[in-house]
Amino acid sequence: MTTFDDRERAYESKFAHDAELRFKAEARRNRLLGEWAAELLGKTGDDARAYAMSVVTSDFEEPGEEDVFRKVAADLDGKADADTIRAKMTELTAEARRQVADEA
């Protein structure tokens, strides 16, 4: 085993670890966004948890976060505008990254 092979393996491992943390942070952000939206919709308890999970699963429709935005924007029609939702997504992205980093 050469130093180059060791270095290559370390970079691959770091890339995989970073990708996993990004995925966890995005899923956490979506759950937090779902909880926020559920509160605006007046949902509580199991209904709020189920709604938050529906926001998380909406992220699997296409790459990026636009699918999540569209779902929440449609659900919150009349309760929150696009700028408010996007600002909340940005805020919760930072919060989710902090939470995932604290757990790692």
Domain 3-103 indexed as CATH 3.40.50.410: no
- Give the whole-angstrom CA distance, residue 58 versus residue 68: 6
Q: CA-based angle 66:72:76, to the nearest 5? A: 140
Q: Which residue has the tokens 């270095």?
A: 7
Burial readout 22-45 (b: 16 or more C-beta within 10 A, e: otherwise): eebbbebbbbbbbbbbbeeeebee
Of the pLDDT bands very low, low, confident and very high (cuts 50, 70, 90), residue 7 is: confident
Cβ-based neighbours of 96, under 8 Å, separated by 6 or more? 25, 26, 28, 29, 32
- pLDDT tens digits, 23-52: 999 999 999 999 999 999 999 999 999 999
- pLDDT tens digits, 72-96: 999 999 999 999 999 999 999 999 9
Of the pLDDT bands very low, low, confident and very high (cuts 50, 70, 90), residue 13 is: confident
